Amino acid sequence: MKNERRVNSKPALNISRRDFFGKCTLCAAGIGVLSALPFSSLLAAVEPLITTKTKIRLIFAHPDPTRPNWPNIDYDFSGHIKEVHGKLVSKCPQIEFDAVTVSSGSAEEGHKLLQDAGKYDGYLIYLAGCLWGDMTETVMAAGKPTVIVDHLFAGSGEFLTSYARAKRAGNRVIAVSSSRFEDIVDAVHCIDCVKKLRLSTLLVVGRGVDGQIARTYGTSVKEIPFEKIDEIYGKVPAAKAKTISAHWIEAAEKVIEPKEADVEKAAAMYLAMRELMTENRAQAITINCLGGIYSGRMPEAYPCLGFMQLDNDGLVGGCEADQKSAMTKLLMTYLTGRPGMISDPVIDTSKNQIIYAHCVASTKVFGPDGPSNPYHLRDHSEDHKGACCRSLMPLGELTTTLLFDHDKKQVILHQGTTVENVDEYRACRTKLAVEVKGDVFKLMNYWDKWGWHRVTFFGDFKRPVYNVAALLGFEVVEEA
């Protein structure tokens, strides 16, 4: 192994969740004035984040309360509806709800509700009670993203029969039958996620665009030639790049191979990407980095640290012009508020583990507003050049690893618990070992059909993935 150039003498650790949050508090207090500043304060560019509100038609449905029915005669539907509406407005500030209450379950009522469908991004049907008609199924069949909710012990009969029929018909609908109100909020958030995808732009540098992305998600995909990013990179002020690189070096637990000049080149590439994204109002970028650098069409300024910072900023940086992985990151960032790690996995059957390896990883695995985990600055593993990150991620955490495939209209998914930040010189710098939830041997069966890359997120997002897949018309395949 090469000699280490130590900025700090702290050893590399496998860290528990408790230690992780404790260390983050200490780091925030001790890494110096520059790195204690909000990172955005170091930049003049405005984040191309989407702030447009999603508009949802909120339909409350219930029968005549003066007649015997579930939940009971003289039930206070008005009071319950007022309570639910208030909770939704409070817990979904990114959503604009246009509420209406109906007491007719006819198909005609459903068609009437759909007359101004163009105004809305989706529908939420809340069955406060059973109407026993075709209204719900008429709305669900209209093609708009729809959530149907059962007020337990009140709308259950119509909820179960209408949803089952709509699902069998292939309608894009999420069903919520839960005493946990946050499950309704999570389902509504899926409509917001789908809306944001339609408003988003993905930049692909050095490779042709995948036209199926726009057809599936509505996302704009723009091809950017190497020459364009090279031109912007060449004009980045050296002082500005030095400020960013100083921030990364100061915040790192250790700097091992890279020289300051390597980190400054990476910072200049980050700033070039940010300028390109701001110019195109893009939320995500993916670069044919290995092809560009190895062919000499890009300078030896690996974008790895820039991708790390974009992920930390709440945007998306994607490796190797892998557009399926980049779209998976973008979708899940909207859905979870957390960055994903693209990886080349390695399986160790003796430990029931999969190890996610790559030279790009976020240091804010719980999102931009969460704590930062320790990291080392390393060189790029394949050619021992440039600068990248080894991120030391928290252990004992459930992760959800997946890939949305817009060609197959499927999502492949597995889960596991983080157990080790593997310290191994071979292959990519960040290596996160996860104990597989399921059969590690079954996990080896799909890579020829899906490719080597998967994207890992910290948290249990299995149900949200099923929900958003339902709105997109995707099937979920559990690979372990």
Q: Would you list the DSSP string of 169-224?
A: TT--EEEE--S-HHHHHHHHHHHHHHHHHHH-EEEEESS---HHHHHHH--EEEEE
User: Cα–Cα distance between 387 and 257 in angstroms, integer?
Assistant: 8
Q: What percent of the chain has pLDDT over 90?
A: 80
pLDDT tens-digit readout, 207-225: 999 999 999 999 999 999 9
Q: Which long-range contacts (CB under 8 A, 24 or more apart) does 5-8 make?
A: 5/255, 5/256, 5/257, 6/254, 6/255, 6/256, 7/249, 7/252, 7/253, 7/254, 7/255, 8/252, 8/253, 8/254
Cis preceding linkage at 71, omega within 30: yes
Residue 382: the pLDDT is 80
Cβ atoms of 177 and 203 within 8 Å: the answer is: no
Residue 128: the pLDDT is 98
Task: Enumerate domains of the chain plus CATH numbers.
Answer: 15-50+200-478 (no CATH), 54-197 (3.40.50.2300)
Residue 50: the pLDDT is 84
C-alpha 121, offset from chain centre: 20
pTM of the predicted model as reported, rounded to 2 decimal places: 0.90
pLDDT tens-digit readout, 273-288: 999 999 999 999 999 9
User: Cα–Cα distance between 126 and 79 in angstroms, integer?
Assistant: 14
The overall average pLDDT reported for the chain is 89
How sure is the predictor about 38, in pLDDT bands with cuts at 50, 70 and 90?
very low
Q: Is the dihedral of CA 107, 113, 119, 124 positive or negative?
A: negative
How sure is the predictor about 293, in pLDDT bands with cuts at 50, 70 and 90?
confident
The pLDDT of 226-245, averaged and rounded, is: 96
275-288 residues labelled b (16+ CB within 10 A) or e (exposed)? bbbeebebbbbbbb
Q: Is the pLDDT of residue 328 over 80?
A: yes
CA angle 272, 35, 277 (to 5 degrees): 20
Residue 429: the pLDDT is 84
